[in-house]
Structure 1
C-alpha cells in the first residue's frame, strides 16, 4: 500500500448531529480544505474530509484509480456521516465541488451543498491531455494569490487521470438539474485552473429554490488557502445555520 503524504490524511471530527462532508480537488489533498474542516469542527459539527483514492500518495498511484474510485471515497464518507448525524451538508473545492454536486444529486436528503470553484468543463486541460505525447502534464496545484501560501498537491498530472476527471465532469454536468437542495457557490473572478464560467453555469442550471453565487475578488483557484478564506468560512457557517432549522 502506498505511503500517504504528511498532511494528506483523511480528516474526521466527531461532533453534533449536523454532518459536513468536504472534498478536496483533483491531484490535491485534504491540506487544501483543512482550514474549513477545522473551523466547522470548532462550531461543534461532525466533519469528514476524505482522502480521495489515489491522492496524497503518488501520481503513479493516482493513475490506477478512476472517477468511480473518487466517487466511492466521498460516498463512503457520506455514509459515515449518515450513521452519526440527523442531517448532512456537502462541500468541495474544484473537483471536490464536482463530487459534492454528485452527492447532492444522488442523495436527495442532502441538506445543502457548497461548491468552491467547482468544475464541470475544463477544455484546456482536456486538450492538453489529448495532445500530450508525455505520460504526465505539468502540475495544476497551488494556484494561489496569497504570497507564501502553498497547496500540497502532486507536482505532475497523470494524463490518464484527466480522462477520468472529464468523465466525472460530463456526468455531473448532465445531472445538475436534478439538484434541488439549497446551494452556495463561491467563484474566484481570476482562476487559472477552472474557468469562472463553470460556477455561473452551475448556478443557472441547478433547480434549487435557494441558491447564491458569491464572487471572490482576491483569490485564485485554491481559494480555501487564499485571501478570501475568512469570507468563505463566514458565509459557509451562515449557510449551515440558515438551513439547519428548515424543513
Structure 2
C-alpha cells in the first residue's frame, strides 16, 4: 500500500551521545512530528520517527493492525538508537505518549527520559465502553484529526476513525495504566489547556501514576491537541532539547 506523500518516516544520523525516538499519534503520521524531528536533528541528535503500521495509507488498513504492531515498530526504532547512542530518549504525541510509556516500562533505565505531548491513556467520551462491541459491526466513525489552533496548519491524518484499531488502542491504555508505577525515568509532560481530543484526566493519571523524582508538567496556553504543529511548538522543541541535554549530562556524570 503506497504511503501518502508527507507521511514518510524520518531518520537522521547525528551524535552518538543523544538519540531521540519520536512516536506519532493514532491515525496520524510522522508529518505531525517532522518539525520537531528536524529541530532535534539540527541540534545534532540522532533521530528516528517511524511510520506506525496501518498509518499513512488508508484508514481501512489501520483496522487490520493492533496495538502490538504499533509497539513493535517503535521497539525497533528504539533498538536502533540505543545500540549507538549513550542516552536514548522517547518523545510521544497522544497515542505516541502511551507507546513511549510502554517502552519506558519495558526497558527501564535504557530509556533515558520521556517527553510527552497530550498523552492519551484513557477517555471520558460517552459510549467508549461500547467500542469493542460497536467495532464488530461499524468499521469507522468521523475522524479526530486537525485539532490545531494555528491558522493554516494541517495534520496529515485520516478523516475517519477505524473502530477495530480504536478498540485495540483501549487495550494499550489498560496495559500502560496498569504499569505506570514502573516508569521512573525523568518526565517532561506538555498539556494543552484546550484539547478537543484527549481530556485532562489522561495527564492526571500519568502524573499521579509514575514514580520518578524528576517530573514536570507544562501547560500550553495557545495550542490544541496537535501541539507539535501548533502555536506552542517552539516551546516544546526548545524545552525538549534542554531536557534531553540536562538529563544526559547527569547520566554521563553519574557513570563517570
Aligned to 1:12: 11
Unaligned runs of 5+ in 1: none
Partner secondary structure for residue 48 of structure 1: strand
Aligned to 2:2: 3
Match of 1:178 among 178, 182, 185: 182
Please state if 1:149 is matched with 2:150.
no
Please state if 1:68 is matched with 2:68.
yes
**What do the CA deviations read for 1:113-171 (whole angstroms, capped 9, x no partner)?**
01100001013172574557632110101000111110000110111111110000111
**What do the CA deviations read for 1:145-199 (whole angstroms, capped 9, x no partner)?**
1111100001101111111100001110111110011000000111010002211
Aligned to 2:128: 126
Distance 1:22 1:139 in 2: 22
Give TM-score, length-normalised by structure 2.
Answer: 0.93
Aligned to 1:161: 165
Distance 1:70 1:196 in 2: 24
Aligned to 1:190: 194
Distance 2:211 2:129 in 1: 30
**What do the CA deviations read for 1:44-84 (whole angstroms, capped 9, x no partner)?**
00000000011001111111110010000100000111222
Once superposed, what is the RMSD of the aligned Cα atoms?
1.3
Give TM-score, length-normalised by structure 1.
Answer: 0.96
Partner secondary structure for residue 14 of structure 2: coil
Q: Is the 8 A contact 2:124 2:199 kept in 1?
A: no
Distance 2:142 2:26 in 1: 13
Unaligned runs of 5+ in 2: 252-256
> Which runs of at least 4 in structure 1 moved beyond 4 Å after TM superposition?
130-133
Distance 1:172 1:98 in 2: 7
Aligned to 2:232: 228
Size of the alignment, in residue pairs?
246
Q: Is the 8 A contact 1:126 1:162 kept in 2?
A: no
Aligned to 1:58: 58
Deviation at 1:238, TM superposition (A): 1.0
Please state if 1:116 is matched with 2:120.
no
Partner secondary structure for residue 246 of structure 1: helix
Distance 1:128 1:158 in 2: 14
